[in-house]
Chains A and B, each alone.
Chain A
Amino acid sequence: MKRIGVFICHCGINIAGTVDIEKLTSQIKEYPNVVHVENYKYMCSSPGQQLINQQIMDKNLDAVVVAACSPSLHENTFRTSVQRVEMNPYNCEIANIREQCSWVHDDKQIATDKAAKIIKSMVEKTVLDEPLMPITVPVNRKALVIGGGVAGMQAALNIANNGYEVILVERESSIGGHMAMLSETFPTLDCSQCILTPKMVEVDQHPNITLITYSEVVEVSGFVGNFKVKIKQKAKYVDWEKCNGCGDCITECPINTPSEFEQQLGERHAIYRPFPQAVPNKVIVDMDECIQCMVCQVFCPTDAIDFNQKDSIVEQEVGAIVLATGYQLYSLKNLPEYGGGEIEDVIDGLAFERLLSASGPTQGVVKRPSDGKIPQDVVFIQCAGSRDPENHMPYCSRICCMYTAKHAMLYKHRVHQGRAYIFYMDIRSGGKDYEEFVQRVMEEERVVYLRGKVSRLYEEDGKVVVCGTDTLTRRNVEIKADLVVTATPIRPIEDIDQLSKLFKISINQNGFLTEAHPKLRPVESLTSGIYLAGCAQAPRDIPDTVAQASGAASMVCALFSSDQLYHDPIIAGVDEDLCSGCGICVGVCPYSARTLNREKGIVEVNEVLCEACGACSAACPSGAAQQRNFTDIQLKNMVKAILG
């Protein structure tokens, strides 16, 4: 016979208010296998825990049931506590008589009877509980970071600086992401390139970082500590071992095509690097544009051009993954009210960044796209598609208030006589020194802030007519602008759906990657071993991106701090004698933890992948799939106790 102790908590009056504790105690005393019952005001307090441990030793208990609040609150507390007197933690169970009993009843009689049943049923479970040991798995202490924007770079550097190897996969030919496109950054106006380039170089030269650019992950398998990935390296048509980045090929290439990096405002060649500071400083050939005239081959001093190159796949094994795939801007095409992308002088924020950038297509002189004139009247439209649940995106993109203020300021610094107008709904400048920055733009830079929305835009006589309303003066406003800059929503990358399927992590209704807990686990995904950083998770500015990336990196380092990983031993195993190898459980397992071994004719379990949901146990026709400490017999006995 098992010697079980039951410890009933009053939880102040939370339980004792509706449950007659003394009566309950005497009822439980009579129950088979129970050798000791005791109650106490706060069982989770330090004296409460000591009381349990004392009785375990004095009464030589094999197992304990703590009748208290939900196991999600204090199961861990009590299981850790009983280990101090050398009881196996899985012989300590919680009977929830608070959330499932005292809180939902008024009638003391009913509540007391129900509490007794809950405890008895938990005693029945405990009788057959086995001592369990955590499952250990080796950890491959190498990380994979996907996305080489500032988020991915920061995460990679932090992990690498902790002494672990990192593979950084970027789908463009250079790392840098959107930050490389920005001119100056709010609120301090430091030059984006100047603060980013050293980081890019550091990533490139770090002995612990392997940089794989112009590549994408195409297959993922395995589990925390032991992922296997396949990375597709797209054909570059240039042998990067040989390419020295001299750029002679670029100058000679006869093809010109709009540059993606310059937001179509400038041109690039068919053989190119996205921007001069690209890291790695190597070129690629855009085969859609290339006419194979072979001029590049002629001029290449290192004989690096190779038109026979093909896509290739490399395989890697890693222990943790950081997703930092960043964002894209909502296309102006989606905004017919603002010209639907058809009006040349209506541009988005990133295009304006390029017009402001000293290394941009206009060398930092603000010229409008249609005719290259320096605009004298510029209208900025905030929330151009954000916070518009009826027509566009319901959420606030969070950074636009700040970058629009920055845009207006930088414009005024470039064109002193120019007039800048900003249409806004609210100003959201909650960040360190942010509000002061916006105030400076309003007061010192004499930018006109108009609170209201723009209803439509149209082109007339070489101007863009902006029709809006100023809700503070309650007047309609019409401004004939030379240039209009729209703050369009921050969206996840185009193929976020595929990415979420590939890595089996969820996205929210707007496509942003979902964190494990919005407050307490903001950098983890629900799949253990996969972490999130940057705008892929939600719109955010650079300081927040970097902070979050560092957070994700430290989670990775914590995982890597031991070469073993512990997994909860409550998993569903297979009784090999009973298993007929029908394979039904393989199909129902949502975690791909079960596989059919055809040779042996039985199902095998990858214990680390099993999350103990119990789907297999329910589906198994022969009772071979049994969840540890939740066996069919245990559950039957528990039900009997409740009904009896």
Chain B
Amino acid sequence: MEISYYPGCTLKTSAKNYEKTGLALLPIFDISPVEIKDWVCCGATYSLTSDNLMYQLAPIRTLIRAKESGNPRLLTLCDMCYNTLKRAALFIENDEEKREKIKNFMDEEETDYRGDEVEVVHLLTLLNEIGSQKISEKLVKSPLDLKIATYYGCMLLRPKEIQADSAENPQLMENIFQGMGVEVVEYPFRTECCGSYQIVNRREIILDRTKKIISSAVKNNADLMVLSCPLCDYNLEATQKELIEQDSNFKPLPVLYFSQLLALILGIDPEINDWSLHNIDPTPVLKRKGLL
């Protein structure tokens, strides 16, 4: 089965590991992702201005490309892309007047778009549809004695109209990993804010958040953390180095995209990972747990 795929910018740059491992998972379940042609920026943050429709053009263009591809679903890996694309689709689906305006503006575009022709779906949702049972059947390594902390942040879960799972008690990653015998530790900050774009001008906020979130996961005995959002990854992973310098008591924790861990467990060649993209080297713990 084919599915259209929208990568977005980070998956081609700092989140290459996510793209490579994420896409490598799909053939195992007979799904072939097809990257849509001529995709553009997703908009990066969903615009809340109601009178300037310019900001909606980028995601809607991408949705038009997806519609042209002929597949009813559009796969995203990045939580940000998921959020902006899905909200833009909902926006024009529900507002006829704005939809007409955008259509008129983009008159060089051959195809027009109503909002409901393409379903934006996140990789985690797709895997949950496949189901933990089917995934576990493909298990190559039974990762004994592995404790992970899952981290969701916000883009996948909020606002309610587009949420992929419950905002307060999401289970998308739990379902997959618990099904294969990995222990998911309990800690209070799975859905805490990572600080988001405050990283640009108020770095101290992110340092503060990272310390709180990572320390709590460590305290609850996590061996590593998995997540699905490149911005969360950047905030929670890269800043740990600074925290180590600031505070000798700070205990770092390796952070991986969930697909990296899943790919290892399902026996996909670890070489597709570029471990140098990690600031906190996960390889020692992965070796210790027999995954490398």
Contact = CB atoms under 8 A, between A and B. Distances in A.
A107 to B, nearest CB: 35
A390 B188 CA distance: 23
A459 B219 CA distance: 13
A336 B168 contact: yes
B101 interface: no
A458 interface: yes
B166 A460 contact: no
B166 A458 contact: no
A337 B168 contact: yes
Interface string A435-467: 000000000000000000000101110000100
B188 A460 contact: yes
Nearest to B189: A458
A458 B188 contact: yes
Contact of A390 (B160, B166, B192): B160
B169 A336 contact: yes
B174 to A, nearest CB: 13
A340 B188 contact: no
Nearest to A390: B160
A587 to B, nearest CB: 40
- Which label, helix, strand, loop or mixed, suits the secondary structure of the A interface? mixed
Interface string A367-402: 000000000000000000000001100000000000
Interface in A297-336: 335-336
A411 B192 CA distance: 32
Interface in B86-143: none
A215 B278 CA distance: 67
Nearest to A340: B169
Contacts of B192: 456
A268 B188 CA distance: 34
A458 B192 CA distance: 12
A343 to B, nearest CB: 10
A456 B188 contact: yes
A465 B188 contact: yes
Contacts of A465: 188
Nearest to B169: A336
Contacts of B168: 335-337
Contacts of B188: 456, 458-460, 465
- Which label, helix, strand, loop or mixed, suits the secondary structure of the B interface? loop
Interface string B182-195: 00000010001000
A458 B160 CA distance: 23
Nearest to B220: A460
Contacts of A460: 188
Interface residues of A, number: 11
Nearest to B187: A458
A332 to B, nearest CB: 13
Interface in A335-382: 335-337, 340
A400 to B, nearest CB: 21
B220 to A, nearest CB: 10
Contacts of A340: 169
Interface in B141-175: 160, 166, 168-169
Given A456-B188, A465-B188, A336 B166 contact: yes
A394 B192 CA distance: 25
A486 to B, nearest CB: 14
B71 to A, nearest CB: 32
Interface in B9-49: none
Contacts of A337: 168
B285 to A, nearest CB: 25
A340 B166 CA distance: 13
A615 to B, nearest CB: 38
A31 B168 CA distance: 74
A390 B160 CA distance: 8
B172 to A, nearest CB: 14
Contacts of B160: 390-391
Contacts of A335: 168
Nearest to B192: A456
A456 B216 CA distance: 15
B145 to A, nearest CB: 25
Interface in B253-289: none
A336 B160 CA distance: 15
Contacts of A456: 188, 192
B136 to A, nearest CB: 26
A393 to B, nearest CB: 15
A456 B166 CA distance: 14
Contacts of A391: 160
B106 to A, nearest CB: 33
B193 to A, nearest CB: 10
B97 to A, nearest CB: 25
A335 B167 CA distance: 11
Interface of A: 335-337, 340, 390-391, 456, 458-460, 465
Interface of B: 160, 166, 168-169, 188, 192
Q: Which 10 A-B pairs have the closest CB atoms?
A: A458-B188, A336-B169, A336-B168, A337-B168, A390-B160, A340-B169, A336-B166, A456-B188, A460-B188, A465-B188
14 contacts: A335-B168, A336-B166, A336-B168, A336-B169, A337-B168, A340-B169, A390-B160, A391-B160, A456-B188, A456-B192, A458-B188, A459-B188, A460-B188, A465-B188
Given A390-B160, A391-B160, 12 more contacts: A335-B168, A336-B166, A336-B168, A336-B169, A337-B168, A340-B169, A456-B188, A456-B192, A458-B188, A459-B188, A460-B188, A465-B188
